[in-house]
Amino acid sequence: MTFSIVARDRSTGMLGMAVATKVLAVGAICPWVRAGVGAVATQAWVNPFLGPITLDLLEEGLDAGGALEEALAGDSCAPYRQLAVVDAEGRSAAYTGAKADPWCGHSHGDDYAVAGNLLVSEETVAAMETAYLTAHPEHDLADRLIAALEAGQAAGGDRRGRQSAAVVVMHRTVVPFIDLRVDDHPEPVAELRRLYTLLTTEDGGETLRFCHEMAADESAAENPADYPD
């Protein structure tokens, strides 16, 4: 029901996920990211519980492939699922069940995994992968994840249409570095880019600084005078 990317930023260790689909509020069920642990996309006939289950397995010491395999082993409907995982070391894994709706498939490599189902064609996944791998490495992880969504949408995206999108990036704490959702919009990926641009311009600077400080260091919450109004 969606196309997504999970990734780790090699220079900062940040972990993130971006997703778009023709379903309401995809950000509520598909993205699962835990600072210092990993990022998971759970989709197709989505089982949201696979997100925290996989993250818990990563936190217990399994790598991306091992966590994915064990999480799916406990799901009797695994053939209908799609799962993409990247761990804190940048190891990645992806799975597309035999009964996931076509076109469906995935690709993964060091620091990233891309997956999609109910797509116009395989070009969506290929375009996302190329866009992510060729994005400027100094751009924020969220920026590169959104660029991958933009490329996937331009290549066809969800064959049913467009409705929602989300991007989540975590740094060192439980507070997100970036967490933006478009729950219902005729052009959700474009709207996600607009929100990200707004956040990262001067108008959103104080909010962004606040989020970044809290995402990097829990002690940043000890000075309420620095909070934005």
Q: Would you kindly state where each structural domain of the chain is located, as residue ranges?
A: 2-226
CA distance 79 to 34: 26
Per the CB < 8 A criterion, the answer to whether 80 and 99 are in contact is yes
Strand partners, 84: 41, 94
pTM of the predicted protein model: 0.92
- Residue-wise pLDDT for 144-201, tens only, equals 999 999 999 999 999 999 999 999 999 988 989 999 999 999 999 999 999 999 988 8
Among 31, 178, 7, 4, smallest CA distance to 90 is for 7
As to burial, measured by CB atoms within 10 angstroms (0-12 exposed, 13-18 middle, 19+ buried), residue 24 is exposed
Query: Regarding the domain with residue range 2-226, which homologous superfamily does it belong to in the CATH classification?
Result: Aminohydrolase, N-terminal nucleophile (Ntn) domain (3.60.20.10)
- Residue-wise pLDDT for 192-221, tens only, equals 999 999 988 866 566 777 777 777 777 766
